[in-house]
Amino acid sequence: MDERVREILGDEEAWIVGGAVRDELLGRPVLDLDVACREPRETAVRYARRFGGAAFPLSERHGAWRVAPPDAHQTVDFTPLPDSIEADLASRDFTFNAIAIRVGSREFCDPYDGRADLDTGCIRAVADSVFLDDPLRLLRAVRLEDELGFRMDAHTEELARASNALVTHPAGERILSELRRLSSAGYRRLDEVGLLEPLGGRLDGPVDALDDPDFRLVAVLRDRLTGLPISNDLRRYATTLLRARAPDDPSPRAIHRFRRKTEPWSFDALAFVGAPELAGAVEAARRAQPAEPLVRGDELGIPPGPEIGRILAVIDEERAAGTISTREEALELARGLAGAEAP
């Protein structure tokens, strides 16, 4: 599967395992390799020296190492093989991830008949303890259903339902990584299996309104999303959508007010509040937005402070509404607003 691995390992016993084997058998792109071998650290260092890239420990606890090549080639993980390959595969999650190919040959080790499950589109647990051993597998099972068009067999789904309270146990980063790969149908399946409610999600939002992973996260998790380790950009995006309210009407003034609160995500916010028919009005307002303001704050003749921002916002709104169009009109409006606030 990877001639580079064969070149480094030679006649040493090593096996390509897990998702790489599954994806090759399915005819999908193989993005990463997982190689089980006797000396992961030494093998990773040799691989990096020979082909470039950085070798670093992936798991101090389990002794796994990763090589990230500089040429954007697939990453390669080297994991320990202290016992037999059969013992390694017994620790895997689902049967189609418990298939191994010996490096340097086409010798398969498939003790759980995972290739047959690939043929029938079945996600079947390797052992009854699969979700207890790693609760992230609860989300992974649904995500794999979603991505591959497969389905858990009855027993595996029963195990998932019985373990649904564990779905909150993995680290937030791992939960978020799995959730953002789900489609709308994936979220519905998550709910069906009883895994969405423990996460604080619900399906009464606009989950189908926009095909975007961040949008779906906000639509499903709402305020609960902030309990996960999200980026500052995603936090701002979520806050904007959750605070958005549909414009009162398609008038330039109403659209301006909506854009002021929701840009640069106004189109997403329209989808979130159920007003996609106003997308044309928002697009027109964007095209018509002037490159320069009529006046700047230092031209208003009032002391620095928050009042300047308020007056400039009113000027921008009136300009968008068409009631003023010149610098002189803007200054006159500013003087009136400043005078109205004076004691």
What's the angle, vertex CA 179, arms to CA 174 and CA 182, rounded to 5? 140
- Whole-angstrom distance, CA of residue 73 vs CA of residue 315: 54
Q: pLDDT value at position 343?
A: 39
Contacts of 286 (CB under 8 A, 6+ apart): 259, 266
Q: pLDDT value at position 247?
A: 96
- Whole-angstrom distance, CA of residue 262 vs CA of residue 279: 13
Q: pLDDT value at position 341?
A: 52
What count of other Cβ atoms lies within 10 Å of the Cβ of residue 106?
A: 7
Among 111, 130, 122, residue whose Cα is nearest residue 148: 122
**Pairing status of strand 54-59 against strand 100-102:** unpaired
pLDDT tens for the chain, 343 residues: list them. Answer: 578 888 888 888 999 998 999 999 999 988 889 999 999 999 999 999 998 888 999 876 678 999 987 776 678 999 999 889 999 999 999 999 999 999 988 899 999 999 999 999 999 999 999 999 999 999 999 999 999 999 999 999 999 999 999 999 999 999 999 999 999 999 999 999 999 999 999 999 999 999 999 999 999 999 999 889 999 999 999 999 999 999 999 999 999 999 999 999 999 999 999 999 999 999 999 999 999 999 998 888 888 888 899 999 999 999 999 999 999 999 999 988 886 654 3
- Whole-angstrom distance, CA of residue 286 vs CA of residue 162: 51
Q: pLDDT value at position 305?
A: 85
Tokens 């080790």, located at residue: 109
For the chain, give me the number of helices (H) and strands (E)?
Answer: 17, 9
Q: pLDDT value at position 342?
A: 44
Which conformational region is residue 198 in: left (phi greater than 0), alpha (psi within -120 to 50 degrees), or beta?
Answer: alpha
Contact (CB, 8 A) for 182 and 150:
no
The DSSP element (H or E) to which 16 belongs, if any, is: strand 14-17
Domains of the chain and CATH, by start:
1-120 (3.30.460.10), 123-238 (1.10.3090.10), 244-288 (no CATH), 297-341 (no CATH)
Q: What pTM, to 2 d.p., does this model score?
A: 0.87
